[in-house]
Structure 1
């Protein structure tokens, strides 16, 4: 199953399953229009098996449901159902929980727990990784296999980091010792050379003996110098190797400027909000809530409940059908595709465009704070990975002289590697502004200290606000 389930024009769940022709035969047979050969080939259990597959992933749809009518999370569920429908011997799943709500994530977890065949899953979903037999991590050092679940992996990584830091400290000690010996050897050679020069100046030693001593001293000095240089080079190489291993194992860190948002300032006020893409069937109904000071809110709910729609209403990308929205001018929205970045421009050029008052040095310093240093700032945005893209977006929006008071994020951990997730979590923990986040990633929400939730998609089709904490 691929990471993104595409929805070409006219495609249906049946086409995703690859059963359109078989369903046509079955329907002709049911209507009495099938040939004898088609009757012999008709799969009378097909529709029931399709329903079972869709029910297994909690997707309320049938074979002829248009893929374009499904949300991203619903298409992911349909893709998962299609992947297991033919009962393959081996499954390859690429980020299967991206775009899924908690119910969908639970369906993937149950599938992995019950699957009897072989399976490789590419995933950064820490909850999901608690249900695998082994983890293979790919880094600049290569691919390493760790037996056990995510918890076992993290414990092993902590041990490896401690060992790597110990090796680095030892290598640095040996490097300092080699440098000290090199200095001492050089000083001894200088003293010997000075002593020889004084004897030559006195003229009390035969010229032939002076020449022999000079040659011997030069040979000895040259040999000692080469030995010292080899020892120093080995020590430098050991330090570089140990440091590179520590850098790979260490979590990334990002430092954000402060917003200075006062605790009593209301940055967002939503009153009796109603709206959606279809005015006759609004996804958001009579919703009221506010964000005051550096509060941290999560918008949660099942796929299709209107979480992204709510963000578009707040940001003004969608006109409300009713109610009002009061929003601080100092805000920014970062969607999961970081769409405000120019894909054809470099990271540095994007930063300059979005922070026109910043000097060249300020731009580079800000990007360095988000781990884009030297040549990395010249990378074209369109060539970046998902994690690099989000870091670049955060750098451009938050790395200026005055960060926004309100940061709105839409599924920020989708498509991110685990190091980037850890870095983003650390950055958002240090952010002193207000946060409004759409996410199904519960470990992420816990890590950034979410203290209130707006729950969409209740049985009454209204929005419920969690109490302030």
Structure 2
């Protein structure tokens, strides 16, 4: 790849955490211009790889080379709440110098700071406008902005810096549909090297290629997410056929080896009989015996080697089949009968100003999608129903046990193991019973003894969901706040599968429309300045639309 071409190269790259946990070993990667979607299971090293490329982590071996500057938008973005917007955008010094010159101060240092960037404020406002932040003043502080606005602000800073390589790690987490639309537009307009880690299907439909990180290596697929999934389905079908053929070959080789043993035994018995009856001269019988043994030995070795080869081919075929297990939920105690009252909201005024006017009721095993723009009050409403916040006025009355999966996944005690966390909320359960239930959430054997602090984002969500559902009594109303934020594509499929078997009532607050549509939603509720109102699926904002 020519040195002048924007690129990322990872050569024999290895990385391990201080506790010895290996993430990458001899890893190779070459990324050129265009939009690359990096996908893979939770914990496979996607975020770590981006941090290595960005220079935030030091490899234990190998090296990373890139062309030009690198811009990195991390998954867990933390900005100083006291920062002004222009400081977060990296233009504060230039603005101060520009304003000083405009006020009549001819000091040389002001001109040196401004350089050729006389239109800095116009450029900033243009970028902010493209990202839907036109109303954000440059003198505001970060503490006055929502989490979604902070993500877009960080992206605006990266776009203003014009890096050669842009790395985005789950950039649509915490963004509402309108903000996601702005980010999609920015991604589609990018002309350099872009590597994006995401589970957002809409975003991954806008990339040029997919890099699938699995078992410490990348496999490339041309096209968007849909093309990747189609190619992967064809590969997996072929891999499963190869397994069936290899299994048949192993069975055949075992039969042939058994037949060889039977023939050898017969020859031995015949030879012994001839020896015992001394029907032929001793020298002749000895020669025949030696020849038969050599022939039988070669025959046995040949069939043994064929069986070993067949078993090796079977092992290789099995490794090519992806075994992404599904979460299983079998909790008869969560069932809610049709018509049973589950939740009532009456003239509810929430903290921070959101309202639910009149009376709203959830009955039976309904599945509610709670949508609305960032800052509309969705999280506040869920926390109020869960009893974590008191309403300013009105009533939020749950008629059944409630489980709440918060966006921050801070339900678990990090100092305890997964078994310990479940035992804390289900004191009547036996150790074996807890382990059996955790196995349904893919925490088998020693994995159930890991401390909560050591879990990846996707593992933490599974563990938190397990702890909630295994609580005594089990929740009959389950509320999830942006549950797909920490999940890879496989994790989203697992969560969808798990929720399909949940028999209680469900309220899910999410900006991930494809995920919501996969849950069998019965009512779509929009929380906005007018309160809580039911809308038809056709009224959902179109994330692909412009404007």
TM-score of the pair, normalised by structure 1:
0.90
Relative distance call for 1:216 and 1:153 in structure 2 (3 A) is: same
- Alpha-carbon distance in 2 for matches of 1:152, 1:246: 19
Counterparts of 1:392-403 in structure 2 under 5 Å?
A: 392-398=463-469, 403=474
Distance 1:233 1:325 in 2: 66
Equivalent pair of 1:358/1:400 in contact (CA under 8 Å): no
**Separation in structure 2 between the aligned mates of residue 370 and residue 422 of structure 1, nearest angstrom:** 13
The structure in which a higher percent of residues are helix is 1
In 2 relative to 1, CA 434–344 (structure 1 residues): closer, same or farther, beyond 3 Å? Answer: same
Q: Does 1:193 align with 2:264?
A: no
Change (3 A) 1:166 1:51: same
Partner of 2:532: 463
The yes-or-no answer on 1:243 pairing with 2:318 is yes
- 1:51 correspondence with 2:125: yes
Asked whether the 8 Å contact 2:400–2:477 carries over to 1, the reply is: no
Structure 2 unaligned regions, length at least 5: 1-72, 538-547
Give a deviation string over 1:50-92, Cα, whole Å, max 9, x none: 2222221112312222222222211111111111013333322
Partner of 2:517: 446
Secondary structure of residue in 2 paired with 1:371: coil
1:62 counterpart residue number: 137
Residues 425 and 472, structure 2, Cα contact 8 Å, conserved in 1: no
Higher alpha-carbon deviation: 321-330 or 21-30 = 21-30
Is 1:312 matched with 2:383?
A: yes
Residues 151 and 34 of structure 1: is their aligned pair in 2 closer, same or farther, counting only changes over 3 Å?
same
- How far off its partner does 1:199 sit? 4.2
Deviation string, structure 1 residues 339-391 (Cα, Å, up to 9, x no partner): 11222333333333333333333333222222222333333332322222212
| 1:456 match: secondary structure | strand
Per the alignment, residue 29 of structure 1 pairs with 101
Asked whether the 8 Å contact 2:343–2:361 carries over to 1, the reply is yes
Kindly indicate whether residue 406 of structure 2 is the aligned counterpart of residue 335 of structure 1: yes
Equivalent residue for 1:435?
506
SS of the residue 2:416 aligns to: coil
Query: Pairwise CA RMSD of aligned residues?
Result: 2.6
Match of 1:419 in 2: 490
Which one has a larger percent strand, Structure 1 or Structure 2?
Answer: 2
Residues 10-409 of structure 1 mapped to structure 2, 5 A cutoff: 10-33=82-105, 35-39=107-111, 41-42=113-114, 43-59=117-133, 60-140=135-215, 142-202=217-277, 212-248=287-323, 251-257=324-330, 258=332, 259-276=334-351, 278=352, 282-286=353-357, 288-398=359-469, 403-409=474-480
In structure 1, distance between residues paired with 2:358 and 2:302: 77
**1:274/1:287 contact within 8 Å kept:** no
Q: 1:446 to 1:215 in 2, by over 3 A?
A: same
Question: 1:448 Cα deviation (Å)?
Answer: 0.9
SS of alignment partner, residue 341 of structure 1: coil
Q: Is the alpha carbon distance of 1:151 and 1:51 closer, same or farther for their aligned partners in structure 2, counting shifts above 3 Å?
A: same
Instruction: Give 3-state SS (helix, strand or coil) of 2:342's partner.
Output: strand
- C-alpha distance in structure 2 between counterparts of 1:465 and 1:31, whole Å: 54
Range with greater deviation from structure 2 (382-391 or 300-309): 382-391
Change (3 A) 1:171 1:353: farther
| TM-score normalised to structure 2 length | 0.78
